[in-house]
Amino acid sequence: MGCRITWLGHASVVLDVDGARIVVDPLLGRHNGILRRRGPAPRRDQWQRPDAVLVSHLHHDHAELSSLRLLPAPILTAPANAAFLRKKGLSATGLGDEWYDVPGTPVQVRLTRADHGHRPMPHRPNAANGHLVRTPQHLIWLAGDTAFYDDMAAIPDLAGGPIDLAVVPIGGWGPRLSGGHLGPVTASDACRTVGAAAAMPYHWGTLHFPGAAQAPRGWMDAPGEAFAEALPEHAPGCRSLVLTPGQSVDL
C-alpha cells in the first residue's frame, strides 16, 4: 500500500492512500462563481469514486455545491457545516473530537483547529477546520484555510505519531492575502512546528479575479516559488512537494 497525492488546483486535493481515495475541498468545474480558473478543469479520472470527501469550511471556493453533488461519498466536516450541507441534500457527517472510521477502508479522519474567521459569511455557517487522515501506514495533516497558531505543536500528539505529509495553504485568489491565511513563510513555519517529513503547498496559482491583468506580473506563481525557497530554511529536512494543477506525486 502507498500514498499518492494529486493537486487538482486551488484547495482541491486527492489522497489515494492505502487503497482508499479521499477528496478534499473539491472544486471540479472550470470556474468558481466570478473567479476564473487558470488552465483546464480537473480530469474526472483523478477524482471520481471517492470513499470520503473532506470539507474544511463553507467558503464557496472550498464547498461548491455542484462539485460536492458529483461525489457520492460521505462528507466529513464540522457539525454546523454538516447540518447546512444536509439541508442541501448532501450526505454529510459532523465530526467531534473522536476519530471517524471511513467505511470499508483503513482510513480514519478527525478534525483539527483552523483559525479562519476573518471574513464571516452571512448566509452559511462559518465553522472552519483542518483534518488529520490516519491509516496504518501514513499520517497526513490537511491544514485547511488557517493562520498560524501556537497549538499547531500539539498536532502530532493528536495524530498519534509523526506527520508524514503536511498539506498547507500558501496563497489565495489575489495578490494580497487577507487575515486567516498562511503565506509561504508562515506555512513553512507550520511545517516545522508539526515536524512534517514532507509538505505540499496548495491554495495558490489557480483562481484569479476578473481584472487580474492589472495585478503584478507573476503574482499567481510567486507563492509556490517562495515556498520552495522558504521551506529548507524554516523547516530543514522537510521535503518540498510543489506541484502544478493535475500533477501527482508518490510518498
Q: Look at residue 31 and tell me if it is in a domain.
A: yes
For the chain, the helix, strand and coil percentages under 3-state DSSP, each to the nearest 5? 20, 25, 50
Q: Look at residue 113 and tell me if it is in a domain.
A: yes
Name the domain count of the chain: 1
> Measured between alpha carbons, how far is 68 from 212 in angstroms, rounded to an integer?
27
| Interval 51-67: pLDDT, tens | 999 999 999 888 999 99
pLDDT at residue 215 in the model: 67
Mean pLDDT (the chain) is 93
Q: Look at residue 9 and tell me if it is in a domain.
A: yes
| Interval 29-38: pLDDT, tens | 887 787 888 8
Q: Look at residue 100 and tell me if it is in a domain.
A: yes
Nearest Cα to 2, choosing from 132, 107, 138, 200?
A: 138
Nearest Cα to 38, choosing from 67, 11, 66, 10?
A: 10
| Main-chain phi, psi angles of 198, to 5 degrees | -145, 155
Q: What CATH number is attached to the domain comprising 98?
A: 3.60.15.10
| CA angle (26 as vertex; 154, 95 as ends), nearest 5 | 45
Q: Look at residue 251 and tell me if it is in a domain.
A: no
Q: Look at residue 216 and tell me if it is in a domain.
A: yes
Strands 129-134 and 139-142: antiparallel
The answer, yes or no, to whether residue 72 has pLDDT greater than 60, is: yes
Q: Look at residue 250 and tell me if it is in a domain.
A: no
| Interval 152-188: pLDDT, tens | 999 999 999 999 999 999 987 666 776 678 999 999 9
> Measured between alpha carbons, how far is 36 from 33 in angstroms, rounded to an integer?
8
Q: Look at residue 249 and tell me if it is in a domain.
A: no
Segments forming the whole domain that contains residue 62: 3-244
Mean pLDDT along residues 132-142:
97
Q: What is the pLDDT confidence band of residue 213, given thresholds at 50, 70 and 90?
A: low
